[in-house]
Every structure is written in structure tokens, then in C-alpha cells.
Amino acid sequence: MNSLFRFVLILTAWGFFLGSGILAHSAGALLPVKVEIPRSDQTPPFDRERQLNVPEGAKISVLARIERARFLAVSPEGDVLVSQPSSGRILIIKQWRSLEHKVHELIGGLRLPHGMVFQRIGGTLYLYVSQSNRISRFIYSNDSISRAKEEVVVPNLPDSSSAGLGGAYGHELKNIAIGPDQKLYVDIASATNADPADTRSDPIRCAIYRYDLNGKNRKLMATGIRNAEGLGFLPGMDELWAVVNERDDIRYPFQSARGAHSASEYGRVIQSYVDDHPPDEFIHVKQGANYGWPFANPDPDKGLDDMPFDPDYETNPNWSKFPESVFTKVDKGIPAHSAPLGFSFLQGTRVPVPYRNGAAVALHGSWDRSRKTGYKVIFFPWLPSGEPGVQADLVTGWLDDETQRVWGRPVDVVPDSEGNLLISDDYSGTIYKLSFAN
């Protein structure tokens, strides 16, 4: 990027931060509010009153109930699209601003559809859809699509049907983004928890690839990315960012004592170590970078910024295969096992200050900790340096910290055209609308 342009953006960002008061105070404490539930949607878990914690003055309501709802997209007309991998469908919520909204099938017969992106090419509006084994696009017109018009732009992506994987693929759902460079970016996640075999496959199964919009000219962009769920471009900048789910059941990698851990724990799975290692990630995806997996893991013990790497005991003990210097540092850590899935940059949207200059991230929640974490939507303010600031909670309450009971798991969060945030939840089968005070 032109250095002068970046300098101007930084000055602009400083002005925004100072004017909005973001540098002076946080976005504010969250307050519990009753979830507004239409009578027709009052089935479990909404057969009783539910509360969520939201910013002061905000309210949250159930927009629709859709079983196993995953990723979201908002059409140019303002309709809400929902991927449902379990049924092979893309659903559309029409007239969702009224009590008469309807949920219809937009596309069926897909193989584990997940990410969705709208892109206009010439005079034609396309909907790109990531499936586990291919990326397709459909001509989108008048809120409708003809299934017969599917155009496969990237075929033969690896999934559980691929030869040699024995029907097993731990992270076969694909995710996509389209950049200001008019290129298609595709995440191909690992089939395993931490097996180097994923780094030797073709295509590499821990990488992000770049294609022309018609699927031609595949280029490897970055590797060492175990499972990048959400992908997105920072508005006004040619920067691809991703949230990443890191490995589970990590073994203690040091032959010396560290903190509460002793040298005798070397090579063992110690739950108290697993609880906080390795952190999940929010990364600026750079051309040619290797973010470490499965050979190196970011170390959060001194904070979630500028983290050094630790060698992975199973794949790179004591840096015996690859030195730390070959890996690119993670930009921002997210507490381990939080499982960040979808995220959205909110710059240029109608959400209120202080949320208009940052990113909202949905945390699906942990299974690999002695006490659960995640199960909420968080916010990263964007700093004048062009990096995410300190993580803050935006919506919480799906997890009861005392009882450890869970009644919802956020998957994706996207802004609509009116300044609300839409949140999907595949555990309760719900699309929520978070509305801010005027």
C-alpha cells in the first residue's frame, strides 16, 4: 500500500478515536436484558424467559428460529441468507423487518454449504457459496436463484469424501472472502488436530489460497493456519484478516519448569496447561507467511500481544525440525479454545460509536478446558496502528459461569443495513438481532 495513503488513514483513525472517546474509556459495561421472543418461536430453549447481557440501551430479539444455523450474509436488498450445512441448504429470511417474515429455501442439494459472499461482475450479481468439496457461484436476481445455474469455480477441494482420508476430515467446512483486488480467497483447513501430513498434501490442508473470480490461477497465500473460520478484508485496506481455531490437547513442551509446571511434565497432556494453550488467533494474513501450525504454538503466558512461539512437543520438539525464526507471529491472541468462527469489520456500517471502528467476533465456545470459555460475541476496537486493540465483551449470557450450563453457541455476526447486528446460533437454532440505542 502507498505509504502516504496509510499515513493519512492513521491520522484519520487517531482523529476518530480521540473524537469518539474510545481511547479514554471502554465501550461500557454490559447489562442484562430479556430476550424478546415472538410467540411462535417460544420453543426450547425459549419456553422460558432468557436473558443476555448487552451494551447499555441495546436490546436483543429472536429474528428467526433455524435449526443448526451457521454463517450469514445480507443481500443488497437487505434479505438475510443463512447457511445450513447439515441439510445442504442456503435459506433466506424475507421481509425480516416485519412480523410477517418468512424463511424459504434459496438453494438446496449442496454439500455442506458454509460461507457466502455477494460479488457483482459487470452487470451480473453473483452469490459465491463455499461447499466442503467445491466453491460455486450462482446468478442472484430478485432474491431468487435457479439451482440449475450453479457454476463450479473451484472444484475438487479436499473433504471427507477425498481418497486417502478414510472418510474423516476434522475441519472440512470451507470459508471464503473476495478482496478489493477482485480475487477469491479460500481457506482449506486441517483434516487433523496436529498431523504434519496436512502440510504435505496438495492442496495444503492448513492454508489460504487465492484464485481469480472464475477459479483460475490458484496461488498459495499463507500456511500454518489450522482452521481459519471467518475471513474478511479490512475496509479501505487491501488486508485479509482471519480468525483461527488452534489445536487441542497440547503436550507440555518444556524440559524445564515454567510457572506452575515442572520439568517432569515434559511431553505429557496436563489439563491445567491445555486450559490456556495455545490461544486461538486473529491474524492479518500476509503473502508467503507461515503461522506455525502444527510445528509451533503461540505462547500467551505474558499476554495475547506479540506472543513468542513455543515448539510443539509432538511435531517439532525443542525446535529440532524448524526454528522459531521461520514462523510469522500472530497479531492478536484470543483465549484458548474460545473457538472464534464468524467475524465482521464494522467500519463503514451504521452501528453506533464506539463500535463503528472495529471487528465483532462470534466465539462458539470451548470443549477442551476444565472450565468453559467463549460462548459470546466480542469486539476488538481498531487502533490507529492498524491493529486490533483490547478484546471487550459485546454479548454474553449463553454460558452460566457458575453452573457451566450452556444454552446457545454463537457462530456468526454480521451488520445489517440499519445498524443492527445479526447473530447466528447453531446450538439453539436461532438468529438474533442486536439493536443499539439511537
Report the pLDDT value the prediction gives residue 391, as an integer from 0 to 100. Answer: 98
Report the pLDDT value the prediction gives residue 5, as an integer from 0 to 100. Answer: 38
Among 75, 144, 175, which Cα is nearest to 412's? 175
Whether a cis peptide bond, with omega within 30° of 0, leads into 45 is yes
Take residue 220 and report the three cell numbers written for it.
498459495
Report the pLDDT value the prediction gives residue 146, as an integer from 0 to 100. Answer: 61
Round to whole Å and give the CA distance between 113 and 322.
Answer: 36
Report the pLDDT value the prediction gives residue 164, as an integer from 0 to 100. Answer: 86
In DSSP terms, 116 is beta-bridged to 129
* Residue 224 near residue 327, CB atoms below 8 Å: yes
Strand segments (E) across 164-249: 175-178, 183-188, 207-212, 219-223, 228-233, 240-244
Report the pLDDT value the prediction gives residue 173, as an integer from 0 to 100. Answer: 98
- Side-chain half-sphere CA neighbours of 299 within 13 A: 15
In DSSP terms, 241 is beta-bridged to 232, 284
pLDDT tens string, the chain, 438 residues long: the values are 444 334 334 334 434 443 333 333 345 699 999 999 999 999 999 999 999 999 999 999 999 999 999 999 999 989 999 999 999 999 999 866 665 678 999 999 999 999 999 999 999 999 999 999 999 999 998 767 765 589 999 999 999 999 889 899 999 999 999 999 999 999 999 999 999 999 999 999 999 999 999 999 999 999 999 999 999 999 999 999 999 999 999 999 999 999 999 999 999 999 999 999 999 999 999 999 999 999 999 999 999 999 999 999 999 999 999 999 999 999 999 999 999 999 999 999 999 988 999 999 999 999 999 999 999 999 999 999 999 999 999 999 999 999 999 999 999 999 999 999 999 999 999 999 999 986
pLDDT tens across 334-381, in order? Answer: 999 999 999 999 999 999 988 999 999 999 999 999 999 999 999 999
* Residue 314 near residue 343, CB atoms below 8 Å: no
Report the pLDDT value the prediction gives residue 102, as an integer from 0 to 100. Answer: 84
Query: Domain boundaries in the chain?
Result: 1-62+346-407, 63-345+408-435
In DSSP terms, 134 is beta-bridged to 131
* Residue 408 near residue 423, CB atoms below 8 Å: no
Report the pLDDT value the prediction gives residue 309, as an integer from 0 to 100. Answer: 99
Report the pLDDT value the prediction gives residue 99, as an integer from 0 to 100. Answer: 59
Q: What is the CATH number of domain 63-345+408-435?
A: 2.120.10.30
Q: Name the phi and psi angles at 244, rounded to 5.
A: -130, 135
pLDDT tens across 39-61, in order? Answer: 999 999 999 999 999 999 999 99
Take residue 140 and report the three cell numbers written for it.
442472484
Report the pLDDT value the prediction gives residue 4, as an integer from 0 to 100. Answer: 39
Is residue 120 within a helix (H) or strand (E), and if so which, with residue range?
Answer: strand 116-121
